[in-house]
Structure 1
């Protein structure tokens, strides 16, 4: 008995010594239901991804993913609280439990998943890092950037990729490191730096936000990295992880099946077995995750299918769908079977 007590005490001591993110996970779904709200962190000002409109309502593909998860769990896409964060705040906010979910133009990397106590649940945008210059600079390719000053945010994969690219190509550069994205953009506009580097989607978002001045800037053709962007949750609470992951897959599957926000209810009597499972009429897939069986229907009613989410948010900023097309159209978006 003494040995058992000693072992238990040792186990408790070891557990207490673990960092907060490595402790046994709380029941995130239960916490969301108890407060009646999903807490979701996004970028504060990225057109097409997350930005308040003139009425103060948050819009963008990342915001739509927050709404989709809320619809799956709470049955109401409006039961969310959007908490904007900086690139350096976002991970701490998730680790501490200040938010339930990150959907914030965040790149899925081994280092982040292995060391920060977070798990990525999917890829909502396959992206890549690019360079933007002032059109009147005469620069048309990244190999012409030797000696340039480059605006970049700290603590990002962008900063690391920038250093790797210039080193690999024997180019010199001077980083202008600024944390706040609005200040980065302002510095570039005011020519404190020659180049602005970020994910190409973010650069397209920046140009779109400039209205009639958008033509002053040129996005160079080179893409120097893989940047799979997607939602992330705390490790350990695998039920919540499953819900977030399959919410993404439900959006993709809905597009594959031709289901839209407008026509989803017309599939209620379909005899197609895949459709019947999606609609919750067979298979008990929702209950397997602790949800209502029509959870996927609620998701599509809330935000539409993946293609609709893209068209509503990213097409208007001129970001081509490209590799983000369905696999049946030559893209990378592919959902495992919902069965």
Structure 2
């Protein structure tokens, strides 16, 4: 019985093999071309309004040295101001058409949501509640920050945990007060919060010795220290008690405008990564780097995908330089703040940071 079963099995296998040999070899599957990218962007109501009025309205800090402030001639300067001008150059063809609207902490979100400003580019953190609960989007991160503490050198402190029983100046209507309470309460450290309405008031109270320490984003502490009577008498402690991703906030109901703001910032980051500066942008438009030709308008029609022309990124870069040029001039080595790149260095730098932009393709 087993012998018969084996014969049948061999016969079946042999038949199947013959059938496979007699089948024609299938022809290669036809190559299906990938779907072409759309030639035009989804219309942006914000972009339409900006073009109609001929002016970009940027919500900025009323006065934060290095980031947004007015100089002796009344001209707005700073890290965030430079990005606003780059955006105006991209969408309106003229960096001077950016108008800075100074906004305090208590009014900044309402001003953006009501349409008083087109973008909020100031020291405002990306948080869950703002993203999910207030109808806002952070287009991208322009500065990676964290909250710290400024104290007097004479206290000889090495860490914030030594501030037990201290009075700490902090600004109201910001995430700083909650971060401060989370940090000390989580460690069982007693403290007294001296809450002020604005950053300037918190700095003034600290200078008047109404408190032992001043807490805010480290960038804001460096800015505050730079305008004190004796900056060298104050030190920023090494403790970083929070993550504060800062960048341009926009309304959530206009995703096409979000893309424009996001990619204008990414254009400046990519330009630094590829060595494109305000001075070399023109030559690199037709250079050997394909990605930079696409970015700067020398190849392709990528501007159409944003509802802009092909030279949008070229104008953004030449308005005030790439990300690195802006950083060094406004808050880095070439400024009074002299902030280190740190986390804000390019991902590809010798000392890598977190700064990264998607590819231009």
Scaled by the length of structure 1, the TM-score of the pair is 0.90
Name the residue aligned to 1:194: 212
> Is the CA contact 2:286–2:298 (under 8 Å) kept in the aligned structure 1?
no
CA RMSD of aligned residues (A): 1.2
Name the residue aligned to 1:19: none
* Counterpart-to-counterpart distance in 1, 2:298 and 2:80: 29
SS at match of 1:176: strand
CA offsets 1:199-241 (integer angstroms, 9 cap, x no match): 0011011111226x00121111101111111001001101110
Select the residue among 175, 180, 183 that pairs with 2:198: 180
Change beyond 3 A, Cα 1:261–1:232: same
* Counterpart-to-counterpart distance in 1, 2:356 and 2:117: 28
* Counterpart-to-counterpart distance in 2, 1:180 and 1:26: 34
Name the residue aligned to 1:326: 346
* Counterpart-to-counterpart distance in 2, 1:57 and 1:303: 15
CA offsets 1:1-30 (integer angstroms, 9 cap, x no match): xxxxxxxxxxxxxxxxxxxxxxxx971001
* Counterpart-to-counterpart distance in 1, 2:197 and 2:281: 43
CA offsets 1:105-162 (integer angstroms, 9 cap, x no match): 1111111111111100111110110001122223221111111111111121111110
Name the residue aligned to 2:312: 295
Select the residue among 267, 287, 300 that pairs with 2:284: 267
SS at match of 1:292: coil
Q: CA deviation at 1:72?
A: 0.8
* Counterpart-to-counterpart distance in 1, 2:73 and 2:259: 33
SS at match of 1:327: coil
* Counterpart-to-counterpart distance in 2, 1:225 and 1:287: 39
CA offsets 1:142-200 (integer angstroms, 9 cap, x no match): 11111111111112111111000001111011111111221111100001111100000
Once the two structures are superposed, the pairs formed by residues 175-324 of structure 1 within 5 Å of their partners are 175-210=193-228, 213-315=230-332, 316=335, 317-324=337-344
* Counterpart-to-counterpart distance in 1, 2:226 and 2:54: 35
> Is the CA contact 1:86–1:179 (under 8 Å) kept in the aligned structure 2?
no
* Counterpart-to-counterpart distance in 1, 2:80 and 2:122: 6
Structure 2: runs of 5 or more not aligned: 1-42
Name the residue aligned to 2:29: none
Select the residue among 136, 152, 158 that pairs with 2:176: 158
> Is the CA contact 2:171–2:199 (under 8 Å) kept in the aligned structure 1?
yes
CA offsets 1:237-261 (integer angstroms, 9 cap, x no match): 0111000000110000000111001
Select the residue among 123, 141, 147 that pairs with 2:141: 123
> Is the CA contact 2:167–2:193 (under 8 Å) kept in the aligned structure 1?
yes
Q: CA deviation at 1:268?
A: 2.9
> Is the CA contact 2:285–2:297 (under 8 Å) kept in the aligned structure 1?
no
Aligned length: 314
* Counterpart-to-counterpart distance in 2, 1:295 and 1:82: 21
